[in-house]
Amino acid sequence: MSGRALRLVREEPDQVLRLQAFRLAHPEVIIGDGGFGVWQACIPEPDGERIISRYTLRELLDKLDELTPHECQ
């Protein structure tokens, strides 16, 4: 995780465990600092990849939970 990403996580300390749990459950999904003050996730798909961007880690993880509810619950 980049220094910028670590700074962003410090702003949402309650989301760190959630991020770690998601990464364990979904090692194929790349999550990090997308630059410009956003978080991004790259989700592999059969025909390419899906990129999700959100301003906060909480918003990104909420969206990822919507896209993968059966695996995150």
Whole-number Å distance between alpha carbons of 43 and 65: 12
pLDDT at 9: 62
**Mean predicted confidence (pLDDT) in 37-61:** 94
14-25, pLDDT tens digit by residue?
Answer: 898 999 999 999
Environment class of residue 41 by beta-carbon count within 10 Å: exposed (0-12), middle (13-18) or buried (19+)?
A: buried
Which residue's entry shows tokens 């459950």?
25
Give domain limits for the chain.
3-72
Percent of the chain with pLDDT over 90: 62
- pLDDT band at 70; cut points 50, 70, 90: low
pLDDT at site 73: 42
Q: Which two tokens stand for residue 6?
A: 């670590």
How much is the pLDDT for 35? Answer: 81
What is the strand order of the sheet 38-45 is part of?
A: 30-35, 38-45, 48-54
